[in-house]
Structure 1
Amino acid sequence: MTPHVLIMEDHYIVASSVADLTNSVLPGAEIRKAATFPKGLDLLKTGPPVDLIILDMQLPGGDSYGMVGTLREVQPGVRILIFTASEEPKHALHFFSAGANGFLSKTALPEQVGVAIRTVMDDKKYMTEQVHQLVVESFFKKIAPAKVFDNDVLSPREEDVLALLLEGKQSTQIAQDLNMKISTVSTHKTRIFEKMRVTNVIELFRKLKPED
């Protein structure tokens, strides 16, 4: 079966190089490219099912960690490999929490890119040793006693919704700002309220922004 790959990268040379590397790992792969997130989303909606998305974290038109969830709303089982020039420790955990299958720096050697693609295509997680250590540390941090309303118990998408709630925005505005369905916003709000042990936005605001 011919693998279908979607490369979402706005730099032409980088996208072409990744396409060549992908062809060397997956001979005969059907590869499409998108230089913006909306274009990639359109290709995902209108084209044949995709086996792998190689996604630039800073793709124009995207919303960082939220891109993973948006792509999965279209094709839930698609494998997503984040390919970025940003520092790994700062973003890797958030992307894995959002559901990414792998995280790779653009400074990686071609051999590493090949390993990452093979690993993700085998339905395994790919991460560098540095990121693996962060995952281990994060795990032990989370099983240690912590306040229920600690921000780090929220998913990246819930943090996005929380930030907009604290700005006083309504669900319809949040849905527009984050490019998600109103029903999805409502689900995130419910989970936030449960984790924060509040019943409404006013209580949430008071808990996170207490008066001096």
Structure 2
Amino acid sequence: MTIRVVIADDQSMIRAGLRLVAETAPGIEVVGEAADGVQALSVVRRLRPDVLLLDIAMPRLDGLGTARRLLGDPRPPKIVMLTTFGTDGNLQASLRAGVNGFLLKSSPPEQLVEAVRVAAAGDALIDPAVTTRVIASFAAHPEPSAPPELATLTQRELDVLHLLALGLSNPEIARELGIGDATIRTHVTRVLQKLGLRDRIQAVVFAYEAGVVRPGRRRKGPPR
């Protein structure tokens, strides 16, 4: 089944580069482009793509506003936000809005293709480099109190949540903890279910807001 993609970015060269990368991958078709948020709303609602690659900083309507409006539609696309280190002031808000991924424009081509495939499958991907921006943005906040939901997690599940928040993939978490990939998938599913979260992106936001991970600390369990 072909994954249908729309690209929204105000720079034509960026759009051309993203199209070239996406369409060289088997099973991905770019069906439309948009140069700003208002145009993106029209193109997406007309073409109904599976995935929208959406620049966070655009004229007329920025990526955050575009994402919020589209995610309120009955059949929204999966949204992967594109950013640079200079334009991610809305990072936290975009994550909370429910986007399916965050990717740096400087990411290698294979990571872009992976993000499209992961989003289309209903999962979420956050670039590890973007995770460092999450850490920095939460650094300015006071030490949070642990929400009661954390008490429902086992120590192993807390370890998995911590590593999820650091941007590690399932195989990387498995290597870190010395257990199998299938077991990690089970732990991730249980963490999301117990905390009432939809995907890995929401788990990252929850972990930082709950204080499971704080800047400058490798591992921090919740106070009990």
Using the size of structure 2 for normalisation, the TM-score is: 0.54
Please report how far the alpha carbon of residue 26 of structure 1 lies from its aligned counterpart in structure 2 after TM superposition.
4.4
Query: For 1:129 and 1:22, how far apart are their aligned partners in 2?
Result: 21
2:97 counterpart residue number: 98
Residues 22 and 28, structure 2, Cα contact 8 Å, conserved in 1: no
Query: For 1:51 and 1:44, how far apart are their aligned partners in 2?
Result: 9
Closer/same/farther in 2, CA of residues 29 and 86 from structure 1, 3 Å limit: same
More displaced stretch, 115-124 vs 53-62: 115-124
Residues paired across the two proteins, number: 143
Query: For 1:13 and 1:57, how far apart are their aligned partners in 2?
Result: 16
Closer/same/farther in 2, CA of residues 59 and 136 from structure 1, 3 Å limit: closer
Aligned residue for 2:126, secondary structure, equals coil
Aligned residue for 2:72, secondary structure, equals helix
Residues 66 and 98, structure 1, Cα contact 8 Å, conserved in 2: no
Query: For 2:109 and 2:51, how far apart are their aligned partners in 1?
Result: 18
Structure 2: 5+ residue runs without aligned partners? Answer: 148-224
Specify which structure has the higher proportion of helix: 1
Q: 1:111 and 2:141 equivalent?
A: no
Give the fraction of aligned pairs with identical amino acids, expressed as a percent.
Answer: 23
More displaced stretch, 110-119 vs 100-109: 110-119
Structure 1: 5+ residue runs without aligned partners? Answer: 146-212
Residues 15 and 33, structure 2, Cα contact 8 Å, conserved in 1: yes
Please report how far the alpha carbon of residue 90 of structure 1 lies from its aligned counterpart in structure 2 after TM superposition.
4.5
Query: For 2:107 and 2:85, how far apart are their aligned partners in 1?
Result: 12
Closer/same/farther in 2, CA of residues 28 and 89 from structure 1, 3 Å limit: closer
Query: For 2:45 and 2:87, how far apart are their aligned partners in 1?
Result: 30
2:38 counterpart residue number: 38
More displaced stretch, 125-134 vs 52-61: 125-134
1:61 counterpart residue number: 60
What is the root-mean-square deviation in Å for CA atoms of aligned residues? 2.8
Query: For 1:143 and 1:89, how far apart are their aligned partners in 2?
Result: 26
User: Residues 45-97 of structure 1, C-alpha deviation per residue, up to 9 Å, x if partnerless?
Assistant: 223x2100000111111144222111123354410001122358744332110
1:86 counterpart residue number: 85
Residues 25 and 117, structure 1, Cα contact 8 Å, conserved in 2: no
Larger-Rg structure: 1
